[in-house]
Amino acid sequence: MTRAGAALHDMGVAELGRALAVGQFSSLELTQHLLARVAAFEHLGAFLACDPAVSLSAAREADARRARGEATPLCGVPIAHKDIFVTRELPSTAGSKMLRDYASPFDAGVVERLSAAGMVTLGKLNCDEFAMGSANENSAYGPVKNPWDLQRVPGGSSGGSAAAVAARLVPAATGTDTGGSIRQPASFSGVTGIKPTYGVCSRYGMIAFASSLDQAGPLARTAEDCALLLSTMSGFDARDSTSAERAPQDFHAQMLMRREGTTGERPLHGLRIGLPREFFPQALAADVEGVVHAALVEMEKLGATLVDVSLPRTELSIPVYYIIAPAEASSNLSRFDGVKFGHRAAQYTDLQSMYQRTRAEGFGAEVKRRIMIGTYVLSHGYYDAYYLQAQKLRRMIADDFQACFKACDLIAGPVAPTVAWKIGAQDDDPVKAYLADIFTLPASLAGLPGMSLPAGLGDADMPVGLQLIGNYFDEGRLLQAAHAFQQATDHHLRAPTAALSA
Amino acid sequence: MNAPALIRGFEVVIGLETHAQLSTRSKIFSGASTQFGAAPNTQACAVDLGLPGTLPVLNRGAVERAIRFGLAVGAKIAPLSIFARKNYFYPDLPKGYQISQYEIPVVQGGHLDIRIGELNKRVNLTRAHLEEDAGKSLHEDYAGQTGIDLNRAGTPLLEIVTEPDMRSSAEAVEYAKALHALVVWLGVCDGNMQEGSFRCDANVSVRRPGEALGTRREVKNLNSFRFLQQAIDAEVQWQIDRIEDGLQVAQATVLFDPDSGETRAMRSKEDAHDYRYFPDPDLPPLVIVPEWVERVRKEMPELPAAMAQRFQNEDGLAAADAGLMTQSLAFARYYEVLRDACGQPKQAANWLMGEVSRRLNAEARDIAASPVAAPVLAALILRIADGTVSNNGARQVFDVLWSGSAESVDALIEAKGLKQMSDSAALEAIVDDVIAANAKSVDEYRAGKEKAFNALVGQVMKSSKGKANPAQASELIKRKLS
Amino acid sequence: MSLTPEDVNRIALLARLELSSTEQAAMLRQLNGFFGIVERMSAIDTRGVEPLFTPLSAVHAAALRLRDDEVSETDQRALNQRSAPVVEDGLFLVPKVVE
């Protein structure tokens, strides 16, 4: 590969936007280069669908648009979409056999917005089946490998998104986060990802897992890239009754806004960062704790003050989440019955056996488990004890956060208790994987914005992410802190070159 | 209320659940059309089909109609109500769940007063809630398979549930008819039962007087008043047979077969259902502010009962007649225009109940489609009043008008020569001739024979070719012979 | 409290999932493992707490947004049925339905 080529795929979204603006290269050249790279790294298992013809024509259109002087900052910049977002031009599978080759008649709201801004869709990205998982080992189309160590998982459920960005196959990707599915893979794969406040991004065209928790967000190299992407992805959508009705936001401007009384060296002066003691338990791996603490010290250097806070129901968020999410999922996935779309069993004797066989064949083990859990907790006689009780605890968890935000502006902690584990390590014990979601679930249940940014390397030189959680609709402040941190550090610039060239 | 009639010594207890399709243009959660009769699945959009990624957005028009109905039956309009998912698998249910209202419905309580012969009866309503309709299974054979048409999926329904207040199939039918008239009057439902816009489920149980409620069975999808009556009667006989044979009545959902006249349990409902209701996370709570309720109240048409009362008080109509004038909103509107134009309420009502209704019924037409507009009929009634035309003549004119004539009432009276003679000089001449030419009758009249007088009047009518006003003629003869 | 094989069968039927006997056994073990971590949740006193069914109402009450009653959709049957398993005369075909 030529140095110019190397430079191409090492550039981030903002950088590429500027280069395209001054005509350093065309979107067509850029897209061709990345398509070649996607093909070269097929063994990562990050992409499920890629149609060069579609991508190249979008790139030509972007170049033409730029020539007409109608370019946006993102025009001509490639992006790939988690296969949870439906798309007209590429199949939409949700990582499930149930939707093999499913052709959606429409584009997801988020995809619409990014395409309308001139971004070039490079393909669809692998993910856990229906976004259920935290290692991307639950995809019907095979696991995704972590670019930092091909023996390890990239995290999940947006594993393909994180791996593709980490491996420099694409500068940005969309993801979805229900219980940590953007933040955790971002942490495991050493990229930056943000899950905005519930309602900021349209859920229209996102194949539903748990409707009251699902949120879309970007994964990219830097907080600045995420800010640019989120500004374009987000916004009110009348087709989603849970979409927040508010004016379009310029998160990039909010990110750059200078804080009261700050200086160049202390851009975070006056920012109070809360550390929930429950986020630093015994079970937290020493290497992760070390990296997170070092990052917090860096935040202090930048002017932030660290305060102790408490989220007393952090552990409870595991059962609460694993009651609510499967309950909603069991209902959301009832539409996959072999009648209107998707897989239908070849052998059946009557309607009931058609349903039962179709769903037995179409869904993977983890999806079946969650459908069973969800069906059970909603079934007659159990609703109050499980589902209702969980929703009440969810309120208490949300209230705990509001109590914290009286004492601090942002909350910080680890994203996951360990670095990425080896593929297959947690095979027969789903509950073990559930427990590892402990630090991402609370913000999801409350619907708060959260992000993960590279904070350094832990054991086996695997990436460790720092999680930042903000109050409702406070993405601007979240990005501001993350950007200040990345201006002062270079963790986010590290690329897994060794593993990839190996 | 006097004690309900017993059947074979049993008291019948009936509660009704009615599904009224709301008269919105678009569906309850999507922008697809609700038009009846389109080609299969051409009106089932991505949302109606539950395609991956689609989401529901509630139709304001459906809520507006629910509020209007609630106000009409004196119910509470819930300031906050919740949409829930009712989960079950069925091919005509695209998402595997129906979006409905469960714990907190939009309309709570209320009542409907009905008339059973001479008796008034109040049927209390439990609730009325908004939900989406399902599609249709077409059982015509597709090589042993069933065809699914989802055009109807997502059509807004208002499910109106009564307390178990009815004690006979007759009461149930009266309630259903009154409810049907009301929803059509309010314009919330087109009431087309053939197209399934108004369907009833009947919860039926029997008990010996004084005993606790018996186990009920639900007879589903009764889309005509006749079937409603037949189904309940058949079900009641079946249940009494069971009990008299010493057998249990098990709770069940049954269908009525009009051909056999029997009810049979539904196979598809056999496995005890567990609907796993829970609040739909795609739809935040439905909030209805008092201002909205008031706006709807202001736009409400006057209700039939109130209007009938007004016709009795202000127009002096008999209760029964006032009831007929308010049989439908269109009928009442026609009556009011007619009454105002002719200024004679009783005459107006008589014409509507007589000539007009007779023809409408004969041609199975709605008053809205009457070929004779109210102002035209009013003009005719005025001509009877001022003696220009006799009642017989008026009927002949009406015939012509009904057959579509665009001629004015007066022109038709002229053309058909139905104008009564008003020129007294001409009449006097005729009377003089008749008296001169009928000396015999004159003598008999003077001798006190009434028949003779009638003969003279008859002669006058004859030689005036019926145009003389009989009263006027008699008057003149009497004067001349006195 | 732990689930029985009968519970697993009942739930699988409700969920329309055909489970092989080995799948059933594994499912029973895994579900009971899961409900082990759920139990601690049941102990907590939540009397008087409003459930939080949607995060939109976490800070202040959320209200449903309504759509005007207008027809916005046109016939897209061909497009919508592209991924349908079996279609004839525009109808989705399924094994005979017995009412």
Please name each of the domains of chain C with its CATH number.
5-42 (1.10.20)
Subunits adjacent to chain A (3 or more Cβ pairs under 8 Å): B, C
Q: What would the 3-class secondary structure string for B423-466 be?
A: CHHHHHHHHHHHHHHCHHHHHHHHCCCHHHHHHHHHHHHHHCCC
Subunits adjacent to chain B (3 or more Cβ pairs under 8 Å)? A, C
Q: Stretch B202-214: mean pLDDT, rounded?
A: 95
Q: Do B255 and C97 touch (CB under 8 A)?
A: no
pLDDT in tens, C44-85: 999 999 999 999 999 888 999 999 999 999 999 999 999 999
**Cβ pairs bridging A and C (under 8 Å):** 165
Residues of A in contact with B89 (CB under 8 A): 334, 337, 355
Distance of CA C27 to the CA centre of its chain: 18
CB contact under 8 A, A86 and B57: no
Q: Which residues of A are catalytic?
A: 82, 157, 181
CA distance C38 to chain A (A): 5
Is the per-residue pLDDT at B1 higher than 50? no
Topology of the domain comprising A8-261+448-500: Amidase signature (AS) enzymes (3.90.1300)
Q: Which amino acid is at A321?
A: Y
Q: CB-CB: which of C8, C55, C80 is closest to A212?
A: C55
Chain C CA closest to residue A341: C84
CB pair distance less than 8 Å for A393 and C31: no
- What pLDDT was estimated at residue A4? 46
- Cα B265 to Cα A174, A270, A438, B169, distances in angstroms: 51, 72, 50, 20
Rounded CA separation B295/A407 (Å): 46
Q: Is the peptide bond before A157 cis (omega within 30 degrees of 0)?
A: yes
User: 3-class DSSP state for residue B148?
Assistant: strand
Q: Identify all chain C residues contacting B31, using CB atoms and an 8 Å cutoff.
A: 67, 70-73
> Do B380 and B410 form a contact (C-beta atoms < 8 A)?
no
β-bridge mates for residue B200, sequence order: B18, B222
Instruction: Write down the mean pLDDT value for chain B.
Output: 92
B217-221, B300-304, B452-456: least confident range: B452-456
- By Cβ distance, the residue of C37, C41, C83 closest to A431 is C37
d(CA B82, CA B105): 7
C11 CA: distance to closest CA in chain B (Å) = 10
Shortest alpha-carbon distance between residue A212 and chain B (Å): 5
Residues of C in contact with A242 (CB under 8 A): 54, 56
Q: Residue A260: what pLDDT? A: 80
pLDDT at B269: 62
Asked if A396 lies within 8 A of C46 by C-beta distance, the reply is yes
Residue with structure tokens 């309709």?
B133
Dist CA A316 CA A319 (whole Å): 6
Nearest C-alpha of chain B: how many angstroms from C35?
Answer: 19
CB contact under 8 A, B278 and A340: no
Contacts of B57 in chain C (CB under 8 A): 65-67
Indicate whether B470 pLDDT > 90.
Answer: no
Q: Which of residues 91-110 of B touch A (CB under 8 A)?
A: 91, 94-97
**What does the pLDDT read at residue B270?**
53
Sheet hosting strand C87-88, strand order edge to edge: B136-142, B145-149, C91-95, C87-88
Q: Is the Cβ pair A105, B148 closer than 8 Å?
A: no
User: What CA–CA distance (Å, rounded) separates A96 from A367?
Assistant: 9
Q: Using CB atoms, which residue from C18, C27, C37 is nearest to A357? A: C18
Tell me: the pLDDT tens digits for B390-442? 888 899 899 999 998 888 888 888 888 778 776 777 888 888 889 988 888 88
Angle between helices A317-332 and C21-42 (to 10 degrees): 130
Per the CB < 8 A criterion, the answer to whether A237 and A107 are in contact is no
Chains with ≥3 CB–CB distances under 8 Å to C = A, B
Nearest partner of A132 among A364, A415, A429, A387, judged by Cα: A364
Q: Which residues pair with B218 in a beta bridge?
A: B203, B253
Strand residue runs (E) in B266-364 = 278-279, 286-287
Chain B hits for A201, Cβ within 8 Å: none
Q: Which fold has domain B424-481?
A: Arc Repressor Mutant, subunit A (1.10.10)
What residue ranges do the domains of chain B occupy? 11-292, 302-415, 424-481
Region B257-263: what's the mean pLDDT? 92
Q: Are B14 and B170 in contact (CB under 8 A)?
A: no
Tell me the chain A residues in contact with residue C64 when contact means C-beta distances shorter than 8 Å: 241
**How far is B217 from B225, CA to CA, in rounded Å?**
19
Taking the C-alpha atoms of residue B323 and residue B303, their distance in angstroms, rounded to an integer, is 12
In chain A, domain spans: 8-261+448-500
User: How many contacts does B have with C, using Cβ atoms within 8 A?
Assistant: 129
Tokens of B183: 């929803």
Count how many Cα atoms sit within 13 Å of the Cα of residue A395 in the half-sphere of its side chain.
Answer: 18
Identify the segments of chain A with pLDDT beneath 70.
1-6, 502
Choose, out of A176, A236, A337, A359, the residue to mutate when testing the contact with B (most B CBs < 10 Å): A337
Q: Which residues of A touch B55 (CB under 8 A)?
A: 203-204, 239-241
Q: How far apart are CA A129 and CA A143, in angstroms?
A: 11
Q: Using the predicted structure, report yes or no on whether residue B459 has a pLDDT greater than 90.
A: no
| C-alpha to C-alpha distance for A102 and A140, rounded to whole angstroms | 14
Taking the CA of residue A499 and the nearest CA in chain C, the distance in Å comes to 35
pLDDT (tens digit per residue) in A210-254: 999 999 999 999 999 999 999 999 999 999 999 999 999 999 999
CB count within 10 Å of CB A192 equals 28
- Which of B43, B46, B63 has the CB atom closest to C66's CB atom? B63
Best mutation target, B30, B48, B55, B99, to test chain A (most A CBs within 10 A): B55
Q: Which residue of C has its CA nearest to A102?
A: C83
Q: How far apart are the first and last CA of chain B?
A: 65
Phi/psi at A150 (5° precision): -65, -10
Task: Sort strands A78-82 and A120-125 into parallel, antiparallel or unpaired.
Answer: parallel
pLDDT (mean) for B319-330: 90
Closest CA to B420 of B395, B453, B386, B454: B386
Q: How far is B137 from chain A (nearest CA, A)?
A: 12
With CA atoms as reference, report the closest residue to A224 among A496, A38, A486, A497: A486
Q: List the single residue in C3, C15, C41 with the smallest CB-CB distance to A371.
A: C15
Over residues C16-32, the mean pLDDT reads 95
Nearest to A415 by CA among A378, A462, A377: A462
Question: Mean per-residue pLDDT for B312-339?
Answer: 93
Out of A102, A356, A393, the one facing C16 most closely (by C-beta) is A356
A378 — contact with chain C (CB < 8 Å)? Answer: no
**Residue B222 — pLDDT band, cuts 50, 70, 90?**
very high
Q: Which two tokens stand for residue A280?
A: 């630093």
